[in-house]
Every structure is written in C-alpha cells, then in structure tokens.
Amino acid sequence: MSIFKGSAVAIITPFQSNGDVDFDQFGALIDYQIAHKTDAIVVMGTTGEASTLTHEEHLACIEFCCKRVAGRVPVIAGTGSNCTETAIFLTKEADKAGADAMLVVTPYYNKATQKGLIAHFSAIAASTKKPLILYNIPGRTGCKMTAETVATLYKTVPNIVGVKDATGDFSEMAKLMSLVDDDFELYSGNDDQVVPVLSLGGSGVISVLAHCAPEDTHEMVASYLRGDVKKSKELQLKYIPLIKALFCEVNPIPVKAACQMMGFCNGVVRAPLTEMEEDNQILLWNEMKKLGIVTEVEA
C-alpha cells in the first residue's frame, strides 16, 4: 500500500531569532500545507536542517509534527545518519513518536560500498515495522545507490517500500523501475523533474516548491495520475523559473527566505548556512510575485 501519492512537502524548521525552534510558526506552516492539499509532511529532512539540530531537537520536531498533523496526512520522518546505530536510534524514536514512515538517506562523508549500503539499510529497517523510503542524493552525500542495490533492498526487506531519487539520472531510474514491481514507490527529489519521474511510474514528489505552491504541486502529480498529462506538463513548466530561484543558493536558504516573504518565518538559518544574498532575494521575490504568491503589500 502506498504511503502517499502526490506531493509531500519537505518542510522547513522555523527558528526564533535566537536560533531555537519556533514551534508556533512550525504548527502554522503544517496547518497551511494540509489546508492547501499537500498529501504528506516530511519532517527533519535536508530542508528541515536536520544536520544542525541536536538529537533532542530533531526528535522534538518529529513528535510535534506527528501531534499537530494528528492523522490528517502521513508524516514521514527523516531518520538517516552516516552512523548506522544513530540511524537506528532515530528511527526507533520516530516510530514511538507516531511517524507513519521514515526517510533514510545514504551515509554521507564516510560513504559505503553497495554491500555496506545493503547492510546499513537492512539494519535500520529491522529496527521498526514502519515503512522506509530510501533517499538517494549523491550530490550531497557523495554516495550513490545503484539501481541493483535499491532493487535488492526492496525485494529482500519487507518494509523498504521505495526511494526518493534526487540523482537526476533517468537512465538509472528506468533501470530501477525495470527491476521492481508496480508496488514500488518512486518519488522525485527534484521539483524540476516531477513529470519525467511520473512517466517512469513514479508516485509523486518530495518537494521544496510545495512551500510556495502547495495546491499546484499536488495538482501537478494528481493530474498526471488521472491521465491529464497536458495539465501536469503545463504546471511543471509554469514553475521552472521559481524552482530555479528556489535553488539559486544551497537549499534551504532560498525556501526559508520565500517562507519569510509569505509570512511563515523570519528566515533564520543555522550556521554554516547564511542569509540569502540580496540580489538573489530580489530574484526570488520577483518570481513569486509573477505567480501571485506574494504582492507588493507584503514586501
């Protein structure tokens, strides 16, 4: 059974001016996303700045998100680490907090062989009965899972159900989809590649764009899945300039600036991330204004 089909927002973690998590703003953003057709919430992913939160903060955010969502949509908790035992710990705690599924990234910095990846993910999956989505993003981790490795994990570990693919490698994705069955869940990890991933049998997107355009990001997937490929394509192309602006600096710097422009947070990021450059803020504002997401009154 699919965890979700459609658009899951890879939600930011709002901070107060002193750097503490702003749970009031976090709750408001969660409610906004659900009210505007987002199909699932991914908490404590890359966009949530999980790498600079303490374990206590990390788990507090997952628990808060699960309680705030209260079953309205699935909650998928980021519980990956480059340390297998740490990932197991985070996964067990997220399970206790009520997460519906886990998103587990490939080990970073120390990396792993393909054999090591199979052992790593198998051990994490054995620590929970909840479904796991693997996360393949070699641009950030320096570690790429092959199609054969993902297929082996899917076929041999019952609760590994799919992958968030941010490789941009469509040949490898096509190979993967040829090795698995129709129940496998392929999610785009790149907002500018949603429709191509859907064309290979994908189930949706784990999205940054959804912060700014939740209804249209949902509809981009929903229209494709109901057979309206033309509408899906039109929505994909409509948002390409904004997607480009949302990634003109390292994620989540631009999307946090965008959320600030929309009134959802103060834009604070944790070091080593820094405030968005002024020229890029202007670029982002202009793209959001063209789409009617912000107005001059909000400037």
Supply the CATH number for residue 200's domain.
Answer: 3.20.20.70
pLDDT at position 298: 47
Classify residue 245: in a domain, yes or no. Answer: no
Over residues 232-242, the pLDDT tens digits come to 999 999 999 99
Coil, strand or helix at 161: strand
Q: Does the structure show a pLDDT above 50 at 46?
A: yes
pLDDT at position 196: 98
Q: Does the structure show a pLDDT above 60 at 297?
A: no
Classify residue 164: in a domain, yes or no. Answer: yes
- The catalytic position among 130, 135, 187, 224 is 135
**Domain count across the chain:** 1
Classify residue 285: in a domain, yes or no. Answer: no
Classify residue 273: in a domain, yes or no. Answer: no
Distance of alpha carbon 185 from alpha carbon 202, whole angstroms: 7
pTM value? 0.97
Give the mean pLDDT of the chain. Answer: 97
Q: What is the DSSP string of 253-292?
A: HHHHHHHHHTTS------TT--PPPHHHHHHHHHHHHHTT
pLDDT (average), residues 25-49: 98
pLDDT at position 299: 44
Can you read off the two tokens belonging to residue 154? 């899917």
Distance of alpha carbon 51 from alpha carbon 33, whole angstroms: 23
Contact at 8 Å (CB) between 43 and 76? yes
Can you read off the two tokens belonging to residue 13? 């973690």
pLDDT at position 2: 82
Classify residue 64: in a domain, yes or no. Answer: yes
pLDDT (average), residues 89-102: 98
Over residues 120-173, the pLDDT tens digits come to 999 999 999 999 999 999 999 999 999 999 999 999 999 999 999 999 999 999
* Whether 164 is catalytic: yes
Classify residue 185: in a domain, yes or no. Answer: yes
Output the CA torsion 110→113→115→116 (10° steps).
0
The boundaries of the domain holding residue 136 are 6-228
- The catalytic position among 37, 96, 154, 164 is 164
